Structure 1
Amino acid sequence: MSTTPTPSASARAGAPAPAATSATSGTALQILFSVAFVHLLNDCVQAVLPSIYPLLKQEFALTFTQVGLITLTFQCTASLLQPWIGLYTDKHPIPFLLPVGMCVTLLGVGLLSVAGSFPMLLVAAGMIGVGSSTFHPEASRVARLASGGRFGFAQSLFQVGGNLGSAFGPLLAAAIIVGRGQGRIAWFTLFVLVAVIVLVGVSRWYGSHLKSAVRKSAVHAGPGLPRGRVIQALTVLALLVFSKYVYMASLQSYYTFYLIEKFHVPVGTAQMYLFLFLASVAAGTFAGGPIGDRIGRKRVIWVSILGAAPFTLALPYASLFWTGVLTVVIGLVMSSAFSAIVVFAQELVPGKVGMIAGVFFGLMFGVSGIGAAAMGHMADVAGIESVYRMASYLPLLGMLAALLPKMEK
């Protein structure tokens, strides 16, 4: 008798694979859009903080250094916990950590609306950061689990939700808070409550798919590189994140101050320029992941970081019109890298999806916070324009992308 499997037997033997991909055939779009939507709400609330810096600076008589310390407090609490949360939940998944962490953000936003002193502002910023640190690793894991194998697309969709939130945050802050007082910040607790409700449903889906997630991570083979080569590649990726987000911190934290001081535009106009920049970041992020799926993530990383250098070098010497144009181009080009970097790193270290997401999201927040604090001090000492002259050279570190291994077949 022949022992060749029949088609039906072969289909039964391969049956676990489709079940392991997602709840639907291909990408579980409902879950992907849910985590992207919550990422939008989460980062919209976070973007309110730098958007109201001019208000806080005036009301509490803050220096640029103190403004940088607020950003540093938020970014550090948002970064230091993320790798550890990701590492722990790789071994012991906690689906309902998602809505619980968002509740911490809720408390932070409420405190920010009633804070009466600089230390209380720091505590509120820290609580918002803690909520962020619990959200990003687990939400990134859910996005990958629901990707159906389209990892770049899923990561970009998840990330673009956050970018859109960051873009709309300043507009909503201008419409709701600016000119009306600190107490109006409390309106943003409604955004966080919606996020908590959505995350309860996402957590239930995630909990029901934990077994398939464990099974996929167990059979996923790595790139077959020596340990030293993997460490070298991760170090290069970390340096690229450093160059990208220190520069981005200079735009997100001080762009409005730069426009007001150099071009004497009103706060509302400066907020519109910031919105244009953040919207371009969202567009570039959405494009980066699918392009990386198609042409290779290393190429996207290379072009995204180094390709922004001519524009960053020209920015400090541009007129108001060309400043707006250049920042939009910089946002489009530089933002396409992060999704590719995260997926590239996850493929280097399979089975550690949460830890890698936590490390790189945490590195993003930590580097941004340190960069913002350092640039705030530089602005106090040498003037706000010096920040953009010094930071313009950072994208040249994109040349390090040549050291990354080529893993695409």
Structure 2
Amino acid sequence: MPTNTSQNLRTSTRPPRNRAITLLAVGHACVDVYQGAVAALVPFFVAERAYTYAAASGIVLAASLLSSVAQPLFGALTDRKPLPWLLPASTLVGGLGIALSGLGDSYALTLLFVAVSGIGVAAYHPESARIARVASRGGHTAMSWFSLGGNLGFAFSPALVALVVGFGGLTMSPLLLLPALAGSVLCLPALRIVQRGQDATSGAGAAHRTQAALTPAADRRSFLRLTLGVICRSVVFIGLSTFISFHMAQSTGWGPTAGTAALVVLYLGGAVGTVLGGRLAERWDRVTVVRRSYLLTVLAVAGVVLVPGPLGYLFVALASAGLYVPFSLQVTLAQDYLPHRVGTAGGITLGLTVSVGGIAAPAIGLLADATSLRTALIPLIAMPALSWLAFRGLPEPAAAIGPARRTIPVAPPSEKAESP
């Protein structure tokens, strides 16, 4: 009967879709290594090239500014036409920019290479978020695992940079291309799996048309408020990731090793927070989880900035977890607020979450040069509070039945795999 057939089809396609999410998560890790690598490279630029705080934060700005502008554009582009080839191509571009950034002594060239990497990252996120949405069928837990991949890439990047650049200097930066090579290869089987799943369900045309008709209307006002919350969240996270290594080195007196450890704690705490967010969303609605998380994060960030010594690591972990509990939930919320523009929604939330804050980094650097680093970090305490205000009163949208749930081409017809 039709019901049994549909149930059997869902059962038969679930394991491949799980493999697709796993592969996409690993590919996401390989890309976000390069977002984390920018902050991880900053202490080495300062040490080898004697950059000031302001000059060092300019490197973060170069990676963030073009990325922030480009991500919504790539999102709009992928909403008009699926571009699965962007995943391997953008992964390579992101890696190549960072790999070249350590060569030569030119500050201008360093900014250029880091900006190229930022564009590669910008091209990756909207399309990968759209494809992950298709593969996960809009599930919060599956999307949190996809987001977790990016967090683990962040967490791994300080260790990778320390291993490569710490022992060989900035001239060894070309070795940082290796994760990009791996990620560009791993995303190919994921795309094939998702496409086969789309082909296998393409016969249910009437059901898909019914679902499309039930897609809710866009809630642009809520999406705008969510975006404002995402921007404030980005400012505090990028501010911490750029300067936490310097802050903890000064606070503990343990030198550069303390700074690298702080970055690892910051990124690993984010990985824990991302998984926790998906779990909590199964018990409470997403808006409630996000709002409460930001409120608790205010206290955690205050602890990072104001509590001296090794105890600061605990607050770094708590602040990171608090900032990342909303990570994947904001992506699915945005996609549900803009159900016909999931690429744009994913590009803005998933991308701005980790890029637009870099625009504020030079201001923090200038204030640190003029006063002290701790003084410059104090305004970050207010950012999670502003995110909490942005999320107050936001409605929990009904689950989208549109682009995330119906057949969305993952590859051009000429590249489609054979149905099993």
- Structure 1 letter corresponding to 2:316: T
1:387 is the counterpart of 2:376:
yes
Q: 1:157 aligns with which of 131, 138, 145?
A: 145
**Preserved CA contact (<8 Å) 2:271 2:324:** yes
Q: What are the Cα deviations for residues 37-96 of structure 1, in whole angstroms up to 9, with x where unaligned?
A: 011121123322211212112322322111111111111222222212121212211221
Q: What are the Cα deviations for residues 264-306 of structure 1, in whole angstroms up to 9, with x where unaligned?
A: 2210122112211211111001111232133210111111111
**Preserved CA contact (<8 Å) 1:106 1:189:** yes
- Structure 2 letter corresponding to 1:39: H
Aligned partner of 1:355 in structure 2 is 344
Q: TM-score, normalised by structure 2?
A: 0.86
Q: 2:49 aligns with which of 56, 60, 83?
A: 60
User: How many angstroms apart in 2 are the aligned matches of 1:157 and 1:39?
Assistant: 10
- Structure 2 letter corresponding to 1:115: G
**Preserved CA contact (<8 Å) 2:148 2:271:** yes
Aligned partner of 2:169 in structure 1 is 181
1:118 is the counterpart of 2:118:
no
1:168 is the counterpart of 2:156:
yes
Q: What are the Cα deviations for residues 221-259 of structure 1, in whole angstroms up to 9, with x where unaligned?
A: 3445xx6xx222112211211221111112100001112
- Secondary structure in structure 1 of the residue aligned to 2:310: helix
- Secondary structure in structure 2 of the residue aligned to 1:89: helix
- Structure 1 letter corresponding to 2:94: T
Q: TM-score, normalised by structure 1?
A: 0.88
User: How many angstroms apart in 1 are the aligned matches of 2:197 and 2:341?
Assistant: 17
- Structure 2 letter corresponding to 1:196: S
1:403 is the counterpart of 2:402:
no
Q: Detail structure 1 runs of 4+ shifted over 6 Å in the superposition.
A: none
Q: 1:236 aligns with which of 208, 219, 225?
A: 225
- Secondary structure in structure 1 of the residue aligned to 2:157: helix
- Secondary structure in structure 1 of the residue aligned to 2:83: coil
Q: What are the Cα deviations for residues 186-229 of structure 1, in whole angstroms up to 9, with x where unaligned?
A: 222121111111122233334445666997598243445xx6xx
1:196 is the counterpart of 2:188:
no
**Preserved CA contact (<8 Å) 1:315 1:323:** yes
1:130 is the counterpart of 2:122:
no
Aligned partner of 1:51 in structure 2 is 40
- Structure 1 letter corresponding to 2:59: I
* Structure 2 gaps, min length 5: 400-420
**Preserved CA contact (<8 Å) 1:22 1:148:** no
**Preserved CA contact (<8 Å) 1:108 1:128:** yes
Aligned residues: 393
**Preserved CA contact (<8 Å) 1:18 1:25:** no
- Structure 2 letter corresponding to 1:402: R
Aligned partner of 2:411 in structure 1 is none
CA distance 1:285–1:164, shift in 2 (3 Å): same
1:85 is the counterpart of 2:74:
yes
1:303 is the counterpart of 2:292:
yes
Q: 1:329 aligns with which of 309, 318, 321?
A: 318
What RMSD over aligned residues (CA atoms) do the two structures have, in Å? 2.5
Q: What are the Cα deviations for residues 113-132 of structure 1, in whole angstroms up to 9, with x where unaligned?
A: 42331011111101111111
* Structure 1 residue 160 displacement after superposition: 0.9
* Structure 1 gaps, min length 5: 1-7
- Structure 2 letter corresponding to 1:46: Q
User: How many angstroms apart in 2 are the aligned matches of 1:404 and 1:38?
Assistant: 32
Aligned partner of 1:376 in structure 2 is 365
Q: How does 1:195-234 map to 2 (within 5 A)?
A: 195-208=183-196, 219-220=211-212, 221-223=214-216, 230-234=219-223
Q: 1:103 aligns with which of 86, 92, 108?
A: 92
- Secondary structure in structure 1 of the residue aligned to 2:13: coil
